[in-house]
Amino acid sequence: MTSDPPTETAPPASGNLPEPIVVRRGRFSPRQRQRFTRLIQYAVFVVIVGLVAVTADWNRLAESFFNTEVIGELFPEILRIALINTIVYTLLAFAFGLVVGLILALMRLSSIGPYRWFATAYIELFRGLPALLVLLAVAYGFPLAFPNLYIPGGGYGEIALGLGLTAAAYMAETIRAGIQAVPRGQMEAARTLGMSHTRAMISIILPQAFRVVIPPLTNEIILLTKDTSLVYILGLSLTERELTSFGRDAMTQYVSLTPLVMAGLLYLVITVPLSQLVRHLEVRTARKVGSVQH
């Protein structure tokens, strides 16, 4: 500070260092402020939970949600018929949707225009329509329009088709994205080794694409599991009922909410492990994909 540096155009000398930046301090530090707001949040949350716990009529709730007598009546049919049917409908629709979805995805990526147009039109159509409408059309509309039409598998075939047609559109888009996520160099490397386009697709591209696509496809199974509830509209026979229609019938029969609660819990028995699986797979895929190029 003692010597005044020459105010020439010369570059800053050692006595002319830039001044340190100034950070003003408020009354509370950011950390203190954060602690305070969090405290208020906790307090509000505890008050609300406490109010609900105090005002609720717990006996009444237990009576209607978990009526043990009604629960006893539901078993074992709710497992033997309803749960099994839900799973079977889901798997049938998924299998149908997967096959059609794969074909549509390949058509969508084809170099042949009409294939692409058809696949695009299909996907837009069935993603835009409510699944319930498609299901109704297949189960009631088709037999009216084509009296001689025979859908293999009877009721099971109708449901696989009615739900699978919509699922195929979603899965096609997922699979297409998976195929496109495989770097172009993979196809080029396969082709330079003399593989045909089809051979390269089967041996090189699809195995990599499916690895990427397994988590979203598992998600699709979860959505399909819930969508099987739509078949209640079809007027199923006693042994064809799935969880929702079974629960609804039992609700009317026993005049109780409990059957629906039980049906709901059984849906969760299917969907919660699946979504945990999806999360696990996503983490694994992210790690794998991330480590391919380093």
Partner 1 sequence: MSSTDTGRSPGTVQTDDPRSLAVRIRGLRKSFGTLDVLRGIDLDVRYGEVVCIIGPSGSGKSTLLRCTNLLETPSAGRIEVLGVEITDADVDIDAVRRHIGMVFQQFNLFPHLSVLDNLTIAQRRVLKRSRQEATRIAQENLARVGLSEKSQAYPNQLSGGQQQRAAIARALSMNPRLMLFDEPTSALDPELVGEVLTVMRNLAAEGMTMLVVTHEMAFAREVADRVVFMDGGVVVEDGPPSEVLTSPRQERTREFLHRVLDPTHLTRDELTGEEATTDSVAS
CA–CA distance, 228 with 263 (Å, rounded to integer)? 13
Find where tokens 């051979």 sit.
Answer: 199
Reported as half-sphere exposure (CB side, CA atoms, 13 A), residue 233 has a value of 18
Among 3, 112, 185, 255, binds partner 1 (CB under 8 A): 185
With CB under 8 A as the rule, give the number of residues binding partner 1.
22
Q: Would you say 200 or 266 has its CB closer to partner 1?
A: 200
- Select from 68-76, 109-117, 136-144, 198-206 the region that touches partner 1 (CB under 8 A): 198-206
Query: Which stretch, 14-22, 151-159, 163-171, 187-195, contacts partner 1 (CB under 8 A)?
Result: 187-195
Q: Which is nearer to partner 1, 137 or 214 (CB)?
A: 214
Q: How far apart are CA 198 and CA 205, in angstroms?
A: 10
- Could you say which of 72, 113, 128, 194 contacts partner 1 (CB under 8 A)? 194
Q: How far is the CB of 285 from partner 1 (least distance, A)?
A: 12
Residue 185 Rama label (left phi>0; alpha psi -120 to 50; beta): alpha
Residues 120-139 contacting partner 1, CB under 8 A: none
d(CA 273, CA 160): 23
Does 281 sit near partner 1 (CB under 8 A)?
A: no
Residue 204 in contact with partner 1, rule: CB under 8 A:
yes
Contact call for residue 193 and partner 1 (CB under 8 A): yes
Question: What count of Cα atoms within 13 Å lies in the side-chain half-sphere of residue 150?
Answer: 2
Q: Least separation, in Å, of the C-beta of 294 and partner 1? A: 7
Closer to partner 1 by CB, 104 or 213: give it.
Answer: 213
Residue 189 binds to partner 1 (criterion: CB under 8 A): yes
Distances (CA, A) of 133 to 123, 129, 165: 16, 7, 11
> Given the structure tokens 């089967």, which residue do they identify?
202
What is the signed CA dihedral for 49, 55, 59, 61, rounded to 10 degrees?
Answer: -60
In the complex, which residues of this chain contact partner 1 (CB under 8 A)? Answer: 183, 185-186, 188-196, 199, 203-204, 207-208, 211, 288, 291-292, 294
